[in-house]
């Protein structure tokens, strides 16, 4: 069975991620298939809109398939990873800028690369099982695939909290943070998809009132704490804050790579509310281009995916140990290697 199903049905172009046993992890080949379909359908007048979904109940897409990236990086070959990221980011930009309506149905886990496929669509549908997150700082990376664009535009300091902590958003929080647009119970999805396919009319897509966002009750703390200029100051403010939410946030931050969090915060501050998808992706690529050689990425993957010991040995013991010069080096322009969108 193919890992991705691409076809035309009625008035719709349809893309279905089809690796349910692997939580629909996005491989390089799947990424390229999505990009090719979007390019083809942009010129096809018979296709009025695009529907993106996934098989299985557990996940729309729990992230990128990074086994090959780890293997090549460990061998000192950084070219594969850089090519994967560059091509994936161009697909993310194409999705975000697409002229036709794109509807994504985001059940279960939607993380990392799954956000890149599903959360740049023009109409993003969540349900009662949706769990969306950008957990890259936990593997020595930074929020990428255009995730920094979404985080930078989130209300208040929600983006900094979600990006640095990797905390999961249920459907209510995803709507609040701008990672989703509509709530529909999972039981309604097949009927709605069939109507979209038959009509090609995006106006028939209607959401329902979603669950209350859990993060709404903590907005004051989040905006105060994560408005700090450095990760070290964020940690200090959380320690001073006390209470259950602050304790949980501290636990999340202390398990993540200090260099990644420092770079992620710098990226979000630079992008700001007026972020564009291309500016975000170009900045992300500066980090990922260097990631295997200079960051904690390979160690993060070893601990989380390869050995599964959940005990990464980061370069820095704490946020206080990260120098601004190190952040500047990771995010510096790449010259001839800058990401292009040709």
H or E segment and range at residue 4: strand 4-9
Give the residue carrying structure tokens 């601990």.
303
CA–CA dist 190, 178 (Å, integer): 24
CA–CA dist 283, 281 (Å, integer): 5
Query: Which tokens hold the place of 277?
Result: 């998808």
CA–CA dist 321, 306 (Å, integer): 27
User: What pLDDT tens digit does each residue of the chain (342 aa) get?
Assistant: 799 999 999 999 999 999 999 999 999 999 999 999 999 999 999 999 999 999 999 999 999 888 888 999 999 999 999 999 999 999 999 999 999 999 999 999 999 999 999 999 999 999 999 999 999 999 999 999 999 999 999 999 999 999 999 999 999 999 999 999 999 999 999 999 999 999 999 999 999 999 999 999 999 999 999 999 999 999 999 999 989 999 999 999 999 999 999 999 999 999 999 989 999 999 999 999 999 999 999 999 999 989 999 999 999 999 999 999 999 999 999 999 999 998
Residues 105, 189: contact at Cβ < 8 Å?
yes
Handedness of CA 300, 305, 307, 310 (dihedral sign): positive
Residues 262, 322: contact at Cβ < 8 Å?
yes
69-77: long-range contacts, CB 8 A cutoff, minimum separation 24: 69/292, 69/301, 70/298, 70/301, 70/302, 70/305, 70/306, 73/292, 73/297, 73/298, 74/298
CA–CA dist 275, 89 (Å, integer): 15
Alpha carbon of 200 to those of 43, 117, 233: distances in Å?
A: 16, 21, 50
Residues 253, 261: contact at Cβ < 8 Å?
yes
Residues 257, 312: contact at Cβ < 8 Å?
yes
Please list, in sequence order, all residues whose beta carbon lies within 8 angstroms of the beta carbon of residue 190, skipping any fewer than 6 positions away.
Answer: none
Q: Which of 183, 181, 154 is nearest to 167 (CA)?
A: 154
Residue 24 confidence (pLDDT): 97
Residue 113 confidence (pLDDT): 95
Q: Is the full-model pTM beyond 0.85?
A: yes
Q: Which of 48, 66, 52 is nearest to 106 (CA)?
A: 52
Architecture, CATH, for domain 4-337: Alpha-Beta Complex (3.90)
CA–CA dist 163, 84 (Å, integer): 22
């Amino acid at each position: 069975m193919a890992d991705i199903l691409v076809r035309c049905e009625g008035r719709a172009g349809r893309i279905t991620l089809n690796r349910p046993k692997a939580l629909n992890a996005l491989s390089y080949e799947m990424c390229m298939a999505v990009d090719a379909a979007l390019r083809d359908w942009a010129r096809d007048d018979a296709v009025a809109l695009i529907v993106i979904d996934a098989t299985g109940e557990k996940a729309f897409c729990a992230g990128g398939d990074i086994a090959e990236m780890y293997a090549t990086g460990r061998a000192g070959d950084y070219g594969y990873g850089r090519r994967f990221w560059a091509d994936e980011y161009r697909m993310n930009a194409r999705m975000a800028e697409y002229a036709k309506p794109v509807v994504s149905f985001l059940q279960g886990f939607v993380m990392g690369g799954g956000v890149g496929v599903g959360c740049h669509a023009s109409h993003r549908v969540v349900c009662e099982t949706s769990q969306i997150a950008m957990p890259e700082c936990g593997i020595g990376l930074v929020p990428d695939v255009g995730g920094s664009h979404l985080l930078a535009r989130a209300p208040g300091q929600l983006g900094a909290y979600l990006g640095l902590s990797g905390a999961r958003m249920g459907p209510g929080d995803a709507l609040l943070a701008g990672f989703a647009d509509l709530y529909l119970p999972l039981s309604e999805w097949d009927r709605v998809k069939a109507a979209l396919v038959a009509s090609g009319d995006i106006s028939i897509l209607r959401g329902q009132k979603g669950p209350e966002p859990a993060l709404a009750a903590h907005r004051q703390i989040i905006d105060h704490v994560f408005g700090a200029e450095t990760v070290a100051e964020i940690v200090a403010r959380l320690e001073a804050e006390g209470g259950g939410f602050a304790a949980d946030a501290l636990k999340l931050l202390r398990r993540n790579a200090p260099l990644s969090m420092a770079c992620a915060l710098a990226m979000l501050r630079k992008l700001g509310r007026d972020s564009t998808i291309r500016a975000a992706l170009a900045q992300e690529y500066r980090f990922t281009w260097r990631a295997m050689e200079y960051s904690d990425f390979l160690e993060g993957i070893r601990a989380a995916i390869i050995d599964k010991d959940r005990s990464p040995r980061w370069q820095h013991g704490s946020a206080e140990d990260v120098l601004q010069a190190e952040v500047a080096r990771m995010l510096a322009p790449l010259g001839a290697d800058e990401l292009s969108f040709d």
